[in-house]
Amino acid sequence: MKKISSIIFIFLIIMTLQSCYSYDNINYNKVSYEFENLYDNYDIEEDKLNAYYIDDSDIMYMDIAEFLVSLDGFYQTAYYNKTVTMSLKEYTLFFYSSDGENILRHSMTIDWLNDTITVSSRTFFQAINSESLIDLLKHIDIDEEVIKEGKSKTFDLKKYDINIYYKDHLLLIPFTILNELFCSSNYYNIYFDGNKFYGTYYDLTSQDEKTYVDIIENSSLKNKEESDEERLFCYNQLLFTIDNFYGLKDYKKINTEEVLNNYKDRILSKDPLVYNKAYSDFFYTYLDELHTRIPIYSFYLNDHSKIETKYGDFYNEFKDSANKLVAQANDRLDTIDNSVYYKNDLAVIFFTSFKIDNSNDLNDTYEFIKKSLRDIMYHPGIKKIAFDISLNGGGVILSMYKTLSLFSDEYLKFYSADSMYDSVYNTVLRVDNNKDDSYDYLDTFKNKGYDFYIITGINTFSAANSFTSFAKDNKIAKIIGQKTGGGMCSVLPIILSDMTTIEMSSTNLELNKNQEYIEGGIDVDLKISYDNYYDYNKINELINNAYYN
């Protein structure tokens, strides 16, 4: 994520107030709950979060200003300013930044009469502390160019029967909607176990198993019966989430209301086993794509093992292929991760993910491949180098970018889009691979006399799919094997109001050089039967017959 630069500090809060009759005619009950931050990278000092319950409602609301102030240390709260225009029933948060030439205003305007939230751009949510990125960006020259400016985004909560209230200078929005807007997109989420809030990086599964299992097992929500209102709100939040945050909605031509109506009766059930099975059927059987899954079912469910998951056709094909190839690799290779094989004039670098590990170079994909390429240079007779990513399911996009930099002495250009704001970006990057504080031809293995190949298959997915797309677009390597499995979206973790955790394809999309979707996979230049995978002598023979005879 590009760090916001040159933020202008303005601490003046402007409020345009009229008489109190403009407030919503509601009563509320305020409850303070303990809050524990489980993520050390954010220094959040607040140990309480205030919740509000409107009249006799069971839905938890929070005041947007209190919410942000409580999360100071994650959000840089001092950057935000506020105006309230009672005559328009509008509450606006805003801050300024500079792009080096212009002063830019980023804003969120909440219309509590019409229950809408309008955000100027994705940058509005990026005023977070990002010191943890500093080490990751060492020796990298990176910038982001705007190809298509994009437009503002309006979230129409009224469409989903979700209300916003303004009373006593409090702008009250349902807690899980605030969490979805402000936290989820920044890979931080807040859970409520019935008595206490927990903040965590990504989702609870990022914690050690004992921590997140204890939180779920000891939750006071377990075995508690939900109200009809709570189930309806959860259904409406799911509608809102798929409509606005699911990045493949248009690609798959999904009419959210029409599709979810097929699951509505079961999702509205107060039996957690019934509605969690409905979630499973929708996400795994209907959506049927690997960036979307349910790592944690509802906190109200007393036994998560009772959910029987039925997968769709693509997932089953992917799984069956993986099982076959893993067995084949185990039979034919010494090890099936981070290894190099030499067959006559062919060297094959095999790796199954794109990882960043500053504590272990051999576990860090970029460092492992850089070392492997240097070792290959001292191995006589090698003319061809193949990267076997047939079982590479993806990983960290920055690791993939850095790895590709090993094959270019120019700036790399990666295209991406944010479909929520209808914007297109070009990430421009180069890496000082030999760490001599200079960006030049010495940083690349290009023009060393090698021909490069990439071995792919249906299990080549996500960041590995993007790696293949870029290499093919820029003629870095020939693609051999079978068509990749696709995957073009980053993954977004969302928490529903029953604390079900959804990880799904977000609206941040990787594109090819023509700014086209790559979800459907990348075609190969030379097709090779799966039966010949990991038989590198046979693959070398097929390459020679295709390109050298």
List CB contacts of 511: < 8 A, sequence separation 6 or more. Answer: 415, 416, 417, 424, 488, 517, 518
Question: What 8-state DSSP symbol labels residue 4?
Answer: P
Residue 93: what pLDDT?
A: 94
Residues 35 and 158 in one domain: yes
Q: Are residues 137 and 196 in the same domain?
A: yes
Residue 530 CB burial class (10 angstroms; 0-12, 13-18, ≥19): middle
Q: Using an 8 Å Cβ cutoff, are 410 and 446 in contact? A: no
Looking at residue 16, what is its pLDDT?
39
424 dihedral zone (left: phi>0; alpha: psi -120 to 50; beta):
beta
| Longest alpha-carbon distance in the chain | 86
- 488 and 355 share a domain? yes
**Residue 539 forms part of a structural domain:** yes
**What gap in Å lies between CA 549 and CA 547, rounded to an integer?**
6
**Would residue 361 count as lying in a domain?**
yes
15 found inside a domain:
no
Q: Which residues of the chain have pLDDT under 50?
A: 1-21
Residues 260 and 370 in one domain: no
Select from 306, 323, 357 the last residue of a domain.
Answer: 306
Q: How far is CA 70 from CA 36, 45, 198, 413, 472, in A?
A: 11, 8, 13, 39, 47
Q: Are 518 and 466 in contact (CB under 8 A)?
A: yes
How far is residue 263's CA from residue 281's CA, in Å, rounded to a whole number? 9
Amino acid identity for residue 10 in this structure: I
Q: Which strands make up the sheet holding 170-174, listed edge to edge?
A: 165-167, 170-174, 60-63, 48-54, 28-37, 196-201, 188-192
Q: Do both 295 and 367 map to the same domain?
A: no
Paired tokens of 495: 């928490």
The CATH number given to whatever domain includes residue 541 is: 3.90.226.10
- Residue 7 in domain: no
State pTM to two decimals.
Answer: 0.91
How many CB atoms sit inside 10 A of residue 27's CB?
Answer: 9
What is the span of the domain harbouring residue 208? 20-306
Same domain, 372 and 261: no
Is 319 domain-assigned? Answer: no
Please state the φ and ψ torsions of residue 277, each to the nearest 5 degrees: -65, -35
Same domain, 197 and 300: yes
Which tokens sit at 119? 């955000």
For residue 253, being part of any structural domain is answered with yes
pLDDT tens readout for residues 317-334: 999 999 999 999 999 998
Report helix, strand or coil for 307.
coil
Residues 125 and 195 both lie in one domain? yes
Of 37, 68, 38, nearest to 50 (Cα)?
68
User: What is the total count of domains within the chain?
Assistant: 2
Same domain, 212 and 341: no
> Does a structural domain hold residue 212?
yes
Q: Is residue 331 part of a domain?
A: no
245 and 204 both lie in a single domain: yes
pLDDT at 131: 55
264/358 same-domain check: no
Do 285 and 377 belong to one domain? no
Q: Which of 266, 285, 306 is the last residue of a domain?
A: 306
Residue 349: phi and psi, rounded to 5, are -105, 115
Give the domain-ending residue among 266, 290, 306: 306
Pairing of strands 153-156, 451-456: unpaired
Q: Are 283 and 419 in contact (CB under 8 A)?
A: no
Mark residue 202 as left, alpha or beta (left: phi above 0; alpha: psi -120 to 50; beta: remaining). left
- Choose among 412, 530, 542: nearest CA to 469: 412
Q: What does the radius of gyration of the chain's CA atoms come to, in whole angstroms?
A: 25
